[in-house]
Amino acid sequence: MKATITVGKQFFNIDLSKPLDISIPIKAHKGKARAWYIDPPEVWPVKLGDWIGKVSEGGGVNFNNVYFNPHAHGTHTESVGHISEEFHSVHNTLKKYFFLAEVISVAPESNKGDLVISEKQLKHLLKGKNPEALVIRTMPNLASKKTKKYSNTNWPYLEGEAANFLRELGVDHLLIDLPSVDKEKDEGKLLAHKAFWDYPKNTRFNATITEFIYVNNRIKDGSYILNLQTASFVNDATPSRPVLYKIF
């Protein structure tokens, strides 16, 4: 199904029948990717007296309770409420859902025992482009990202100067295939989060960060239309399903 979509003042042709899903779904399974030192998600049927919400056990319907943490259990999108004293829900942050996005692949560099993504790398890869959304795929890009247990691994992260560069470039929506844009254990500094949102000086309430994505190797670097789909949770973060569409 081909369609012409308007993003800003530009028109783009896309095929809605060929979405490129870059999300990692939440699933109650020990083999799924997770972080932040907590157990996997759980799903269990409601029990009310003799009634159970599970068809295979005699119930009329499947009727489950679900436990999960949006930051730890799959792809999620955050508002500045993730780091602010004041409550800001991601539910109120996004006013539109289609954006011109650039996909780039970055091999994090070694710096003082860490692996980091630097401003210099981003400048080189973007080559003067200033997309509204940026999708960062870290290299090597192994399928094990979808099942990796990230706790206590000191994953690669975005340097504060790099996040500041993206903000100044005009990137409003940052997506990355790591549990966080920041260092796993940074004593609460959250330099990349704060730089990207310009918090607390000139807070960008319209900007979002999406973490824990997975960009298949079949998806080439370049420009796409991004549909950033989010669940309607009134919270600082929500499960999300970012989908890319090729431009033709």
How many domains, in total, are found in the chain? 1
Q: Are 206 and 182 in contact (CB under 8 A)?
A: no
Contacts of residue 140, Cβ cutoff 8 Å, sequence gap at least 6: 107
Domain that holds residue 17: 2-24+70-246
140 cis-preceded (ω within 30 degrees of 0): yes
The one-character DSSP state at 90 is G
The one-character DSSP state at 72 is T
The domain that holds 89 is classified in CATH as 3.50.30.50
163 domain-assigned: yes
**Alpha-carbon gap, residue 180 to 177, rounded angstroms:** 8
- Residue spans of beta strands (DSSP E) within 133-220: 133-138, 157-158, 173-176, 208-211
- pLDDT tens per residue, range 208-235: 999 999 999 999 999 999 999 999 999 9
In this prediction, residue 29 carries a pLDDT of: 80
Q: What is the mean pLDDT of residues 78-89?
A: 97
CA proximity to 242, closest of 196, 200, 209:
209
Which conformational region is residue 20 in: left (phi greater than 0), alpha (psi within -120 to 50 degrees), or beta? Answer: beta
41 domain-assigned: no
**Alpha-carbon gap, residue 33 to 20, rounded angstroms:** 20
Handedness of CA 202, 160, 106, 184 (dihedral sign): negative
Residue 218 tokens read as 């079949």
89 domain-assigned: yes
**Alpha-carbon gap, residue 8 to 98, rounded angstroms:** 10
Q: Which residue has the tokens 């669940």?
A: 231
45 domain-assigned: no
52 domain-assigned: no
3-state secondary structure of 152: coil
Q: Are 101 and 70 in contact (CB under 8 A)?
A: no
Amino acid identity for residue 8 in this structure? G
187 domain-assigned: yes
Report the helix count and the strand count for the chain, using DSSP H and E.
3, 17
The one-character DSSP state at 195 is H
Of 6-10, 36-40, 183-187, the poorest mean pLDDT is in: 6-10
- pLDDT tens per residue, range 102-128: 999 999 999 999 999 999 999 999 999
- pLDDT tens per residue, range 144-179: 999 999 999 999 999 999 999 999 999 999 999 999
Report the share of the chain in percent with pLDDT over 70.
100
150 domain-assigned: yes
**Alpha-carbon gap, residue 39 to 245, rounded angstroms:** 34
34 domain-assigned: no
